[in-house]
Amino acid sequence: MKLLRYGPSGSERPGLLDGAGRVRDLSGHIDDIAGQVLTPEGLARLAALDPETLPLVEGIPQQDLRLGPCIGQVGKFIAIGLNYACHASEAGMELPAEPVIFTKWTSSIAGPDDPLHLPAGSAATDWEVELGIVIGSTARNLSESEAMAHVAGYCVVNDISERDWQLRRGGTWDKGKGHDGFGPLGPWLVTKDEIADPAALRLWLEVDGERMQDGSTAQMVFGVARLVAECSRYGTLHPGDVITTGTPAGVGMGMKPPRYLRAGQQMRLGIDGLGVQNQQVIAG
What pTM, to 2 d.p., does this model score?
Answer: 0.97
Q: Over 80: is that where the pLDDT of 88 sits? A: no
pLDDT, residue 101, reads 96
Domains of the chain (ranges; CATH) run 68-282 (3.90.850.10)
Residue with the larger pLDDT of the pair 185 and 169: 185
What confidence tens digit (pLDDT) does each residue in 142-174 have?
999 999 999 999 999 999 999 999 988 777 788
- What's the pLDDT band for 259 if we cut at 50, 70, 90? very high
pLDDT 10s digits, 195-228: 999 999 999 999 999 999 999 999 999 999 999 9
What mean pLDDT is reported for the chain? 96
Encode pLDDT of 272-281 as tens digits. Answer: 999 999 999 9
160 neighbors 119 (Cβ within 8 angstroms)? no
Would you say residue 22 has pLDDT above 90?
yes
Q: Report residue 94's pLDDT band, with 50, 70 and 90 as the boundaries.
A: confident
Residue 172 pLDDT: 79
Q: What is the structure's pLDDT at 150?
A: 98
pLDDT confidence tier of residue 85, bands split at 50, 70 and 90: confident
What pLDDT, on the 0 to 100 scale, is given for residue 197?
98
Residue 284 has pLDDT above 90, yes or no: no
What percentage of the chain exceeds 90 in pLDDT?
92
List pLDDT tens digits, range 54-83.
999 999 999 999 999 999 999 999 999 999
For the stretch 44-59, pLDDT in tens is: 999 999 999 999 999 9
